[in-house]
Amino acid sequence: MGPPRTIPIRFAPLPGEPLDSWLEAYAHRLHATTVGDLLADLGLRRAGGGQHAPDHTVWLHHVEAEQVAEATGVPAHRLHAMTLRTYDGHILQLDRNPNRRAVTRSVCWARGSGSRYCPQCLSERDGRWLLRWRLSSFI
């Protein structure tokens, strides 16, 4: 598969928004059938990619960030900041295995998976998340 093509509609992430929230909102804006379709278009997942796609909310490979930046116009450094890599080493620790995208649950304030949120907060943000909601305790 070649590099993803440029998406003609630009859609900026909100401050503090994680990658998955932005991708879901972007897919909705593009009227994509599924978020998986957008992931495939961005080169983050094979078309019909199955349930075991990498968790891009944890971290992106530099090549992935560059591909998404090229297709969406969002700078790669901003895409990296939309992942849990932002908190690596001071609030949580990421698994260092390059083939896994996981948080080491036994260190710091890491959540095993998922997010915490207040339904009112989510409603006030039009259904878009904050990255810090993925932490065990908010900072």
- Only one residue has tokens 């998976």, namely 113
**pLDDT value at 114 more than 70:** no
SS (H, E, C) 2-45: CCCCCCCCCCCCCCCCCHHHHHHHHHHHCCCCCHHHHHHHCCCC
- Only one residue has tokens 């006030």, namely 124
CB atoms inside a 10 Å sphere around CB 138: 9
Top-confidence residue, 104 or 12: 12
pLDDT digits (tens, 9 = 90+) for 58-83: 889 999 999 999 999 999 999 999 99
Across all residues in the chain, what is the average pLDDT?
A: 81
Residue spans of the domains in the chain: they are 19-134
pLDDT at 52: 53
Q: How confident is the model at residue 139 (pLDDT cuts 50, 70, 90)?
A: very low
